[in-house]
Chain A
Amino acid sequence: MFEQLVDKLPVGIGIVDESFNVVYLNEFFLDRFPHELRNDYKQKPITSLFDGQEKFLKRRLKSVFVLQHPSFSYWEQRPHIFPFKSSRPITGEETQMYQNMEILPIKDKASGDKFACIFLQDVTAQASYFRAQQKLSEALKKEHAAQQKLIRKLDKAQSQLIQAEKMASTGQLAAGIAHEINNPIGFVAANLDTLGQYATHLTAICNGVYDHLNNFSEEMKEQLEALFNTHHYDLLKEDIGELIDESTDGLTRVKDIVQNLKSFSLQTAEGIQTIEVCGLCDQLISLISAQYGKPQYKLDCANDKVEIMGDPGPLKQALMNVMVNAAQAIEDKGFIKLSVIDKGDTVAFKILDSGCGIASNNLKRVFEPFFTTKPEGQGQGLGLSVAYTAIEKHQGHISISSKEGKGTVVEITIPKQITATVQTEDEKTALNE
């Protein structure tokens, strides 16, 4: 009865002697045996009956006999010790049985002979469940990562929106002011021009009188001379032209600034078009130098004209933000060099400044929205993130390297032609979701 019970147990039980020869195998083993071996297995080494794991089985059996201590093996590390088929041969997706094995030392009480008892558990169901769980958890992890990415994208989109709104209102304001200033500048310029002509006429009249002084009577001559002297005619004559010229120059500068202000306001949604970047950079420098006078500016364009396809508004904004940062990094003396390098399919802008530089721990955060080292109220920390977004939109890339106390180099590379954007589609979906 006991033997029947052991035979019917749902675990594999096998007993081997010290030379690893099979003494007993229960039905669990026999059922899974090749048919021709079913009646011919006793007194054969167990390691020869089952291929594949001979070395491992020998090692474990030796350990059990030597140490007289149980040995364990798990499916996780060694899934298939015996070449048995899965318990679900028709419907299951596992083709080989996953096994846990335990080998116990036993002793024949009568003879004192040592044996090893092999317990084999079919854990295919657990293993496949566990693996399914693992797959699930991996899938979840992946999904989680994807969601995180989306969230980051949303964050970015939101900060871009905030910035865009800010820029739009600032742009509107700038455009409004520019328009208001333009009108008075117009008539001041016209008047000044006329005034210049009048001044020329006036000096001509006075000069004529002065030249003919000797033709007047003595009394008249004295009176006229006194008049010229009292009003410092010599000085007047010399200064008046210069004053008017200087004023005209100043007015031209005011006009330039207003013009730049207008073209830099984001109001003009121009879309993708041809941009001549050398002229753009020149314009940019004159605009920045009006605001930040201390640094020396240098523009370095290898060619007279470099043309790219792009959206002028964001592109200008990006360059502007980088340039403003460079200008603000220079406290007293220093230089800013803007180089435009034509690389064939791409154009590189290199902005080099000899300013205060960026600490290395801040360097990787500079493109983060709202990251700033400026005192509260003086910077929103959006400049470079806006630049980054704009450059990304142009399928270019922006990189920055800096040494504290030495200066900073920002390099922006943009393809001359924008190919159909997949990214924009992505962003659209991100926003819609």
Chain B
Amino acid sequence: MSTVFPLDEEQRDALQELLNISMGQAANSLAQLIETKIDISIPKISAVTPTQLYSLLFETDNAFYTRQSFLGDVHGEVMSVLSRNGLTEVASLMDYDEPLSKEDIQEIILELCNILAGACLAGLSEQLELSTNLNMPTLFQPDKDNFDELQWQHSLVMEVQFAVTVSSFSMRVVFCLDDASLKRMKNTLDELLE
């Protein structure tokens, strides 16, 4: 991605470090709740166009999508991609009885992304000393044409992948910030670096 990257090297390194810590905490939360081991990827930071964001997220086969917005000192959205594979095992870890109804599956998906996105955001906000509130998650069925017509040019995305060790289930969480929030976060990062 050769486009103007919204963060300089130092800011980026600092953010990477903060993400590593907060995502680790998020994985721990989930592990604690469902009492199983969670693997986590190294968080990735990049800048994307709407079209790139679409292919980054929604061209995954066999997946569920959700979105959840957050407000407070920074505004943005968390989007999650959850694999259909292994969902039943995770459901039984979460104490759901089989067979799963359509509603059960929706509830599990929403709860999973609420837990993970919430934990990630809480960790990040805490590190950056920002206050944020997460709104309720909803299921999301994106349309590529709508994405191509979005007004923004570039967005900073922070991406991390979680996988449940004992099952084939995996989940990606992607944070996007709006422009004003990005500015505020850059300032906060600068303050931390001083």
Residues of A within 8 A of B (CB): 55, 59, 62-63, 66-74, 76-78, 102
Contact = CB atoms under 8 A, between A and B. Distances in A.
Contacts, number: 47
B29 interface: yes
B118 interface: yes
Contacts of A67: 29, 32-33, 115, 118-119
Contacts of A66: 29, 32-33
A78 B104 CA distance: 8
Nearest to A73: B107
Contact of B114 (A62, A72, A78): A72
Contacts of B32: 66-67
B95 interface: yes
A52 to B, nearest CB: 14
Contacts of B136: 72, 74, 102
24 contacts: A59-B94, A59-B95, A62-B33, A66-B29, A66-B32, A66-B33, A67-B29, A67-B33, A67-B119, A68-B122, A69-B29, A69-B114, A69-B115, A69-B118, A69-B134, A70-B114, A72-B110, A72-B111, A72-B114, A73-B107, A76-B106, A77-B106, A77-B107, A77-B110
A70 B137 CA distance: 11
Contacts of A76: 103, 106
Contacts of A71: 111, 114
Interface in B77-112: 94-95, 103-104, 106-107, 110-111
Contacts of B29: 66-67, 69
B32 to A, nearest CB: 6
Decide if the interface of chain A is mainly helix, strand, loop or mixed.
Answer: mixed
Interface residues of B, number: 19
Nearest to A63: B33
Contacts of B104: 77
B116 to A, nearest CB: 10
Given A59-B94, A66-B29, 12 more contacts: A63-B111, A66-B33, A67-B33, A67-B115, A67-B119, A69-B29, A71-B114, A72-B110, A73-B107, A76-B106, A77-B106, A78-B107
Given A72-B136, A78-B107, A63 B115 contact: yes
Contacts of A55: 95
A363 B4 CA distance: 56
Nearest to B106: A77
Contacts of B33: 62-63, 66-67
B108 to A, nearest CB: 9
Closest 10 CB pairs of A and B: A69-B118, A77-B107, A72-B136, A77-B103, A67-B29, A77-B106, A66-B33, A59-B95, A63-B33, A66-B32
Contact of B118 (A59, A70, A78): A70
Contacts of B107: 73, 77-78
B71 to A, nearest CB: 13
Contacts of B103: 76-78
Nearest to A69: B118
A104 to B, nearest CB: 10
A102 B119 CA distance: 16
Contacts of A70: 114, 118, 134
Contacts of B115: 63, 67, 69
Nearest to A59: B95
A69 B122 contact: yes
Nearest to B94: A59
B125 to A, nearest CB: 11
A79 to B, nearest CB: 9
A302 to B, nearest CB: 55
Contacts of B118: 67, 69-70
A68 B122 CA distance: 9
A62 B35 CA distance: 13
Contacts of A69: 29, 114-115, 118-119, 122, 134
Nearest to A58: B95
B158 to A, nearest CB: 18
A185 to B, nearest CB: 71
A59 B104 CA distance: 14
A63 B136 CA distance: 15
Nearest to A55: B95
A293 to B, nearest CB: 58
Interface string B123-149: 000000000001011000000000000
Nearest to B115: A67
Nearest to B95: A59
A63 B106 CA distance: 17
A68 B121 CA distance: 12
A73 B107 CA distance: 8
Contacts of A77: 103-104, 106-107, 110
